[in-house]
């Protein structure tokens, strides 16, 4: 597994926030029930995202979480990196640790893998996810007719 539950749960939960963007806060309870995720666990994930400045909160009754930026300004990469740490393959990539650069044929492999992941996660925003989601829902409706 490339991603742990941190990234997987976190991305789902943040997408849920994006569905409610502009409509007020969503409580942890609702999200954790909808996706069957431990409320306390999800809270820890949201704490990281809040500290990173991607979501903000309203405390007290009727409070909850909401995106701190527009869905089009939040990428999947921002969320995953905050929760999972840097999506790197090897310590030698991006650093000059590699003492035998010329010998190291594997380094370029690691770079390619990293780049291919980066290309995907840094390009897709929450707004993009919403657009694609809409299409999927429309198609699902067509099937049911």
Partner DNA sequence: ATCATACCCCACCAAAACAGTTGGGAATGG
Partner DNA sequence: CCATTCCCAACTGTTTTGGTGGGGTATGAT
Residues 76-105 that bind DNA (CB under 7 A): 84
With binding defined as CB under 7 A, does residue 47 bind DNA?
Answer: yes
Least distance in angstroms from the C-beta of 74 to DNA:
18
Rounded to the nearest 10 degrees, what angle do helices 5-19 and 76-84 cross at?
A: 140
Q: Tell me which residue of 54, 73, 67 sits closest to 26, measured CA to CA.
A: 67
With binding defined as CB under 7 A, does residue 60 bind DNA?
Answer: yes
CA atoms within 13 A on the CB side of 25: 14
With binding defined as CB under 7 A, does residue 69 bind DNA?
Answer: no
d(CA 80, CA 41): 16
Closer of 2 and 23 to a second copy (Cβ):
2
Contact with DNA (CB under 7 A): which of 20, 63, 98, 122? 63
CA atoms within 13 A on the CB side of 56: 8
Give the N- to C-terminal CA distance of the chain in Å, as an integer: 38
User: Residue 73 gets which letter from DSSP?
Assistant: G
Q: Which stretch binds DNA (CB under 7 A): 36-44, 95-103, 115-123, 136-144?
A: 36-44
- Contacts to a second copy by CB under 8 A: 1-3, 8, 11-12, 15, 76, 85-90, 102, 104-106, 108-110, 112-114, 116-117, 119-121, 124, 129-130, 132-133, 136-137, 140
């Amino acid at each position: 597994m490339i991603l742990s539950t941190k990234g997987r749960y976190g991305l789902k939960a943040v997408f849920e926030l994006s569905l409610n963007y502009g409509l007020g806060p969503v409580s942890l309870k609702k999200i954790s029930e909808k996706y069957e995720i431990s409320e306390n666990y999800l809270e820890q994930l949201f704490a990281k995202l809040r500290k990173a400045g991607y979501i903000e909160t309203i405390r007290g009754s009727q409070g909850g979480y909401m995106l701190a930026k527009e869905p089009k300004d939040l990428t999947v990469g921002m969320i995953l990196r905050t929760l999972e740490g840097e999506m790197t393959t090897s310590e030698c990539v991006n650093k000059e640790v590699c003492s035998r650069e010329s010998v190291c044929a594997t380094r370029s492999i690691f770079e390619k893998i990293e780049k291919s992941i980066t290309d995907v996660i840094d390009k897709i925003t929450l707004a993009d996810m919403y657009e694609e989601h809409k299409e999927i829902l429309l198609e699902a409706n067509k099937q049911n007719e």
